[in-house]
Structure 1
């Protein structure tokens, strides 16, 4: 089981590089848009770069889904932990596992919904780049599939190490 955890961690390392490239691409596209719109406009050079907004938006979608999947690995998504910490330890830990199982069910549902979006994306194209929106919509099922893997890896790791699942996000309230 720990082999799966190591595999997921290795995959997350590769995803971090993809995230870095996407963030760099977003930054460069946004800078280019600003340069074209404001800097070149001051010199009466009317050059249009409508593709930059579209590319930056699509990269942001990928960053959101891939970044959320990595955040699942260490339980770093936004959550209200006040309940699990105010309960006795055993009940709080149990509630935390229950919440993760509910999250897993939600992630599975979102993968299914994402697959339906993929079908829709096959018949739709982006307005400026005229590319199939399948590439954009693929972020959803892939991201949620990775969230499933990372959440399962989190559960396996905490159970096998005997750690308190409530402290996986770096907090220590006790």
Structure 2
């Protein structure tokens, strides 16, 4: 089930990247061809960038695509390596919780403000941080549970495919 969610999230992040590129292209075209810069494109692009960065980071955690310093892990027994991987997942859970907590505080603080050119609440700027934190926690818990029952969890550089 989470594989489907992850795949869907990755498509959303990719669509955000394409939309941001189109908005910036439209901004350049408006500025240099039409001599009338659209005011909403830069702010929208920054908001979209937050979304595709945090969504992509969460998917990267699920798929084990983040870089890590694994030199020590090559000489440790496999059981200790799994413990180290689990510690890493717990750290990611703590980081995701921080994203949710501090992102929530930032959203609450900026709720009454308005983003110029868009008319949205300033809190919208931090929704991607909060949602990304939720996904990071969810995917890290999945990795911990898979490891606990003996299933493979992908790591950066692994050749094995997910079952």
The answer for the alignment partner of 1:171 in structure 2 is: 158
Greater per-residue helix proportion? 1
Residues 60 and 68 from structure 1, CA distance in 2 versus in 1: closer, same or farther, beyond 3 angstroms? same
The answer for the alignment partner of 1:27 in structure 2 is: 21
In the TM superposition, what is the alpha-carbon distance from 1:142 to its structure 2 partner? 0.8
TM (normalized to structure 1)?
Answer: 0.81
In the TM superposition, what is the alpha-carbon distance from 1:50 to its structure 2 partner? 2.2
Aligned-pair Cα RMSD in Å: 1.9
Question: Which one of 72, 84, 106 corresponds to residue 73 of structure 2?
Answer: 84
Contact 1:75/1:168 (CA < 8 Å) preserved in 2?
A: yes
Any idea what SS the aligned residue of 1:138 has?
helix
Contact 1:121/1:137 (CA < 8 Å) preserved in 2?
A: no
Q: Larger Rg: 1 or 2?
A: 1
Consecutive unaligned residues of structure 2, counting only runs of 5 or more, are: none
Residues 143 and 162 from structure 1, CA distance in 2 versus in 1: closer, same or farther, beyond 3 angstroms? closer
Contact 2:13/2:53 (CA < 8 Å) preserved in 1?
A: no
Contact 1:84/1:93 (CA < 8 Å) preserved in 2?
A: no
Distance 2:64 2:148 in 1: 14
Query: Is 1:10 matched up with 2:20?
Result: no
Query: Is 1:74 matched up with 2:63?
Result: yes
Question: Which one of 85, 89, 97 corresponds to residue 100 of structure 1?
Answer: 89
The number of residues matched between the two structures is 159
Consecutive unaligned residues of structure 1, counting only runs of 5 or more, are: 1-5
Which aligned runs of 4 or more in structure 1 are off by greater than 6 angstroms? none
Any residues of structure 2 matched to 1:6-155 within 5 Å, and which? 6=1, 8-38=2-32, 40=33, 45-155=34-144
Residues 168 and 158 from structure 1, CA distance in 2 versus in 1: closer, same or farther, beyond 3 angstroms? farther
TM (normalized to structure 2)?
Answer: 0.86
* Structure 1 stretch displaced more, 78-87 or 104-113: 78-87
